[in-house]
Amino acid sequence: MARKAKAAPQGDARVRMVRYFLFHPAAHTPRPLKFGTMRMLRHWTIHRAWLLFKRAERIERERELETQYNKIRDACEELAKTDTRLFRNAISKKDVGTFPIEMRIPTDTPPKKGWNYGWRRH
């Protein structure tokens, strides 16, 4: 939508000043906090504990992924020993494009709308 030419020099200076002091980030960034010794110590402790918590979470998640990967690899090895044709079919990338949009990965919690029994592909 083509805008009309801007109004003559950005409107009234007083309005501009009022808007600046009401809304502009330069006037409204909170000043850097200064903590006393004990306050800073508590902040530091909480920060360290949070980092420990996140680290434990990350290690747990990575461990789970590692186990899953190893299981996939072992399963493929078993399949290879059992049946060569099925193995080759399983690992083949032929005619495999991207993932279908309807594909769902396992989630921790069920969907909000429940199971859609009326879903059809077309």
Q: Which is nearer to another protein, 37 or 109 (CB)?
A: 37
Q: Which is nearer to another protein, 16 or 61 (CB)?
A: 61
- 115 in Cβ contact with 108 (< 8 Å): no
Q: How far apart are the first and last CA of the chain?
A: 38
Ranges within 32-61 binding another protein (CB under 8 A) = 37-38, 41-42, 44-46, 48-50, 52-53, 56
- 56 in Cβ contact with 50 (< 8 Å): no
For the CB of residue 39, give the shortest distance to another protein in the complex, in Å. 9
Gap between the Cα atoms of 53 and 47, Å rounded: 10
Binding residues for another protein, rule: CB under 8 A, are: 37-38, 41-42, 44-46, 48-50, 52-53, 56
